[in-house]
Structure 1
Amino acid sequence: MALTDTALKALKPKEAPYTVTDDRGLYVEVLTTGSIVWRYRYRLNGKREKLTLGKYPDLTLKNARLKRDEAAQLVAMGESPAKKKQQAKVAGGENTTVAEFAERFFRDIQQRDRKNTTIPRRYLDKDILPHIGSKPIKDITAEDMRSVIWRKKDQGFDAAAGQIRGLLKRMLDYALTCGLIQANPVMALPMRHVYRAQARERALTEDEIRRFLRAMQQSNIRRQFKIALQLILMTLVRKSELLQAQWKDVHLDQHEWHIPVENSKTGKPHIVYLSTQAAMLFRELKTLASTSDWVMPGRGTLSKPFAHNALNSALKVSLQDQDIPAFTIHDLRRTASTLLHEQGWPSDVVEKALNHTIGGVRGVYNRAEYAEQRKEMLQAWADFIDGLAPTSNLVVDLERV
């Protein structure tokens, strides 16, 4: 017999949950707490399923029957209303936009799997969302993906285009998992057609370092960039580690720069021991940074650091008209590693200074920090660089050093 409002109001909790049926699969479950929950039971492809519709009296008898009828229409078309509800709960409705889903992806997947999401976030905000952010994710096509990725390639940034393609693939893989799309359109654009990474072996010779440093110091790039390029070569750090550095982690009185976990590629904190020359350059950056928390605040702002590609562009400008084979900022780390090994420094000390993870059995058992050896090596390395192009060329007021 069908339920009535009077019958619903008279329902009382018992020692165990119990059900009272209405009609055509609709029923209420009365819980021991006194809550009354509407549910719809149906059969799809020979299997029994049930769907929770809501609580009484928030969901009235009349509206519960309407929701049952809507669910029954889905069942008639071969769709599972329970699975559809779960998908919507996980990733939003079927009209979820790329921008809306991207926030869910970053919160649930990207921030969980990646230590540092700064660069992927920048690609999302600057290269993806302005072009397809308002489009429903279910309507995204391979042509949408091609237009976003090739826009970056056409700007001459093939490696960045490859990273954008990877980010889109991971995001749409998650959309596929959530049931919002039936296939990942990025798969129509193989990575080998976007960017093919090449193993790099470029290391500058002593003469190339001398010519590069002198050309860089005499160029018209910003003084912050001149100091940064000299510091990267001198301290063996990664470009991102310097761009993300904050003054709270730089201890000039101790000649130490602490790279926190969130900025370290290895996922472990790292101490950079500052030579006399490196400390001198950090003091110059402190003056240039004014009141900013960042070691290298961006152009026109003290609240955030320079963009990822700013130093790349500065390097290109500084090398204009120079007869030096092309190299990247990361090649400066390889250069330092190569020459330090040639100068006879122990490999473990060099690798520790580079903040590399030592693999194999040695990596498991060798927990040494080599602090004193690294201090000695980095000072000797800074003295070597100073002999090629004096650090004092970048210091305005030597009396402050």
Structure 2
Amino acid sequence: MALTDTALKALKPKDKAYTVADERGLFVEVFPTGGIVWRYRYRVDGRREKLTLGKYPALTLKNARLKRDEAAQAAAMSKSPAKQKQLAKRAAADATTVSEFGERFFREIVAKDRQDITIPRRYFDKAIVPAIGAKPVRDVTTEDVRAIIWKKKDEGFDAAAGSIRGVLKRLFDYAMTAGLIFVNPVLALPMRHVHKTKSRERALSPDEVRVFLKAAFESNIRRQFKIGLHLILLTMVRKSELLLARWEHVDFEQAEWHIPAEHSKTGKPHIVFLSRQSIALFKELQALAGGSALVLPGRGSLTKPFAHNAINTALKVALAGQPIPAFTVHDLRRTASTLLHENGWASDVVEKALNHTIGGVRGVYNRAEYEPQRREMLQFWADYIDQLMTTGQVVLGRFKQVA
């Protein structure tokens, strides 16, 4: 008995998948999940075959019958509809460009693996797409990816080259999973030949902190970067957390900065308790933000933050010619941790302020937020930096402003 629209709408899932016939080989398969798929059974030169036509209700009863009739005509001429479908799918896959597949990769893989896709997305858009974005995935060679990676190495950014290599490897791994390619072209370039990650131990001494902050405020970098570097040191936050901060998350009355889960590396919300000095710096940033919802709106835009590496570049400019070894923005967090531990603050309080996940049994059972201790510690830390910077008439945060 032929199916009707009413009968299709009445189909309900069962514990096991089952089929319901229409006519002339057409039928639907109903899955325990509730999904319904159209299929067609036929013969080609005596061989039995089965073709999947599409999902109901996206493919209606009327259109499913039309697709069945088209397949039946091909089978009558000894042409396999199933094989034709495979060839068409393969042709479409062969034509898929890196840009097109990259969108699928970020949607189906990257966005599910991490809260913040900003950095891999930037590497993809800025380094990969301009070089091979228009090229079909199946045509990308090891030389293509080598050129992208080594261009970044030749610019002196070995760590960034390693990150780009990582994005490329994962993208082409997924292309293999999707059946677009059979060999990953990145595998011929081992990571150890691109960049070897070193465990960082750099923490600034008190004298180096003094030199760094004085150099930053007296340099010609943007005022927002001077304040931003100062705030990262005082609040112990990650650079990305400051770059993504919005004014709706800063509570001046409660002296709190709420970092939402989507901006936090741990994937959990975090509260930063603000010292008097930090509040003053935030208020100056608010005046510089020009009405933007972002704490640090980017150059020429009130709706987009600065690029992820902009503050890194500003730090390099500020430190040029200074008598201290190079360090990264992230090293400021290690500096704060080191000096606070040396001043007798409890490790759990420091780790909580850093928004670190405490490991082991203690991490499982210790759910304390340490709010009073963290408030006291961060005020102590800001006062400590103030005292550290007071040399004669030079006081932190009141250096001459350079345009």
**1:392 aligns to 2:382 (yes or no):** no
**1:58 aligns to 2:66 (yes or no):** yes
Aligned residues: 368
Contact 1:38–1:56 (8 Å) recurs in 2: no
Give, as a single letter, the amino acid of the residue that structure 2 aligns with 1:392: G
Shift of 1:290: 1.1
- Distance in 1 separating the partners of 2:300 and 2:87: 48
Q: Deviations over 1:83-128 (max 9, x none)?
A: 667889xxx6331111111111111111011110011111111111
Shift of 1:66: 3.0
Structure 1 residues 84 and 216: alpha-carbon distance in aligned structure 2, compared to 1, 3 A threshold: same
**1:141 aligns to 2:141 (yes or no):** yes
**1:12 aligns to 2:40 (yes or no):** no
Contact 1:87–1:178 (8 Å) recurs in 2: no
Structure 1 residues 50 and 249: alpha-carbon distance in aligned structure 2, compared to 1, 3 A threshold: same
Contact 1:246–1:293 (8 Å) recurs in 2: yes
- Distance in 2 separating the partners of 1:270 and 1:20: 61
Identity of aligned residues (%): 59
Give, as a single letter, the amino acid of the residue that structure 1 aligns with 2:69: L
Give, as a single letter, the amino acid of the residue that structure 1 aligns with 2:2: K
Structure 1 residues 31 and 371: alpha-carbon distance in aligned structure 2, compared to 1, 3 A threshold: closer
Q: Which secondary structure does the structure 2 equivalent of 1:271 belong to?
A: strand
Contact 1:261–1:269 (8 Å) recurs in 2: yes
1:148-227 equivalences under 5 Å are 148-227=148-227
Q: Deviations over 1:259-293 (max 9, x none)?
A: 10011111110000000000000000000001111
Q: Deviations over 1:337-360 (max 9, x none)?
A: 001000000000000000000000
Give, as a single letter, the amino acid of the residue that structure 2 aligns with 1:104: R
**1:311 aligns to 2:319 (yes or no):** no
Contact 2:44–2:79 (8 Å) recurs in 1: no
- Distance in 2 separating the partners of 1:345 and 1:42: 79
Q: Which secondary structure does the structure 2 equivalent of 1:272 belong to?
A: strand
Give, as a single letter, the amino acid of the residue that structure 1 aligns with 2:98: V
- Distance in 2 separating the partners of 1:36 and 1:297: 51
Structure 1 residues 56 and 339: alpha-carbon distance in aligned structure 2, compared to 1, 3 A threshold: closer
Q: Which secondary structure does the structure 2 equivalent of 1:258 belong to?
A: strand
1:216-255 equivalences under 5 Å are 216-255=216-255
Shift of 1:154: 1.6
1:281-320 equivalences under 5 Å are 281-320=281-320
Give, as a single letter, the amino acid of the residue that structure 1 aligns with 2:199: A
Structure 1 residues 141 and 40: alpha-carbon distance in aligned structure 2, compared to 1, 3 A threshold: farther
Contact 1:40–1:53 (8 Å) recurs in 2: no
Structure 1 residues 37 and 368: alpha-carbon distance in aligned structure 2, compared to 1, 3 A threshold: closer
Contact 2:74–2:81 (8 Å) recurs in 1: no
Give, as a single letter, the amino acid of the residue that structure 2 aligns with 1:285: L
- Distance in 2 separating the partners of 1:96 and 1:67: 29
Shift of 1:74: 8.1
Shift of 1:309: 0.7
Shift of 1:12: 3.3
Give the structure 2 partner of residue 8 of structure 1. none
Give the structure 1 partner of residue 277 of structure 2. 277
Shift of 1:194: 0.8
Structure 1 residues 96 and 362: alpha-carbon distance in aligned structure 2, compared to 1, 3 A threshold: same
- Distance in 1 separating the partners of 2:215 and 2:28: 81
Q: Deviations over 1:327-381 (max 9, x none)?
A: 1111111111001000000000000000000000000000000000000000000
Structure 1 residues 152 and 20: alpha-carbon distance in aligned structure 2, compared to 1, 3 A threshold: same
Give, as a single letter, the amino acid of the residue that structure 2 aligns with 1:248: E
Give the structure 2 partner of residue 3 of structure 1. none
Structure 1 residues 350 and 18: alpha-carbon distance in aligned structure 2, compared to 1, 3 A threshold: closer
Q: Give the RMSD, CA atoms, in angstroms.
A: 2.9
Q: Which secondary structure does the structure 2 equivalent of 1:162 belong to?
A: helix
Give the structure 2 partner of residue 344 of structure 1. 344
Structure 1 residues 31 and 280: alpha-carbon distance in aligned structure 2, compared to 1, 3 A threshold: closer
Structure 1 residues 280 and 50: alpha-carbon distance in aligned structure 2, compared to 1, 3 A threshold: same
Give the structure 2 partner of residue 5 of structure 1. none
Contact 1:152–1:158 (8 Å) recurs in 2: yes
- Distance in 2 separating the partners of 1:322 and 1:68: 82
Shift of 1:39: 3.9
- Distance in 2 separating the partners of 1:98 and 1:13: 43
Give the structure 2 partner of residue 372 of structure 1. 372
- Distance in 1 separating the partners of 2:76 and 2:120: 43
Q: Which secondary structure does the structure 1 equivalent of 2:308 belong to?
A: coil
Shift of 1:151: 1.6
Q: Deviations over 1:180-227 (max 9, x none)?
A: 111111111100111100011111111111111111111111110000
Q: Which secondary structure does the structure 2 equivalent of 1:339 belong to?
A: helix
Q: Which secondary structure does the structure 2 equivalent of 1:108 belong to?
A: helix
Contact 1:42–1:50 (8 Å) recurs in 2: no
